[in-house]
Amino acid sequence: MLAKYLIERALSRPERVWCLGVLLLVAQVAADEPETPAATTSPAVIVTPEAEEIHFSGLLFDGHNDLPWEIRDKANSSFDRLDISQEQLQLHTDIPRLRRGGVKAQFWSVYVPASTAETGDALLQTLQQINIVKAMVARYPETFEFADRAADVERIVKSGKIASMMGVEGGYSIEEDLSNLERLYGEGCRYMTLTHSKSLSWADSATDEPRAGGLTEFGRAVIQEMNRLGMLVDLSHVSPETMKQALAVTKAPVIYSHSSARAICDHPRNVPDDVLPLVAENGGVVMINFFSAFVVPTEQLKTNKLARGTIYDVVDHIEHVVKVAGIDHVGIGSDFDGVPRLPEHLESVATYPRITQELLRRGHSREAIHKLLGGNVLRVLKAAEQVSDELQAVAR
């Protein structure tokens, strides 16, 4: 796909020397590009002026982007090697496309592999990922600014910058020490996903055998400490039993930073219908993931496990959560730069306005669209901060 893009771009340019250079690059890209299934054919999404105005006047607050790991993996953690002020087509994310997509606030994932729980350096590697995000904000201060609280998000967005928070993806990063939660909060992390792909001694993953029966006593203590700090409890990646137990323990609304609806795509990473009403009761928000394996309808995946799906599948997930949990409990958690396959028409961070267009076409109001683009997660963040303020006031 990248090779095709570069060829088309080269052939559209009059400067033959430039074209020759690009075509030589194409040969290398084509050699390195992973094999992907043939693109599906679906109607193009043409963003109308009305949809564009609605989109850019709202707060697009994405719940999960894995750019920091890609910078580590592809550029040795260096923005000199991958300067995101320029389009970087080997990535899903760069500054020009963030601007075209209308991103105004972002949770940057500071993911490290679940294997670090075994090697004993989970916290150290997480701090290294945090340093990559800090380097990005320092390198591009005209574009990004760290936000500590919801009020900072609103202020930074008004200034024209992208409000940046971080999310820890996997509770193994705290190395079974509650004091590390406060340390990560102090570094700027505003949510933690309780597990990643593997179950922990204190919380069960959706994609591994259970070890904790949902949550252990220590797992419940983790949630209570997160409530005290004002750190959002993220239930993406956890088992349904862990979801239910966490929802029973937490005093603050939860998030699913990057999950979709299991009723449409029967993948264990997605949220079951019997849990969605509990999320609504809690006041939380399910932020829809774009990864094809989590959004393509189950029957289609049975016949083609590499099916990409389309933007229309993603909007179906949004509408399902709206139907079961309500418009106040859905958001966007793309997982850009963290997945190998994306739906047609959602290939990069530049494509978010197409979601607004499709929602508008299906009859959703301006107010509803603004809620799901980011208003809902901002409300949840404010609620978590209020719970934290109250708990800390009682402790004093």
Residues noted as catalytic: 64, 66, 169, 196, 237, 258, 335
CB 337 within 8 A of CB 93: yes
CA distances from 90 to 55, 340, 353 (A): 26, 11, 21
Amino acid letter, 80? D
Here the contacts of 4-8 (C-beta below 8 Å, separation 24 or greater) are 5/89, 6/89
Contacts of 374 (CB under 8 A, 6+ apart): 58, 59, 60, 61, 62, 104, 105, 331, 332
Closest CA to 190 of 255, 139, 242, 135: 255
* β-pair partners for 164: 106, 146
Q: How far out from the chain centre does Cα 17 lie?
A: 40
Q: From CA 213, how far away is CA 230, in angstroms rounded?
A: 26
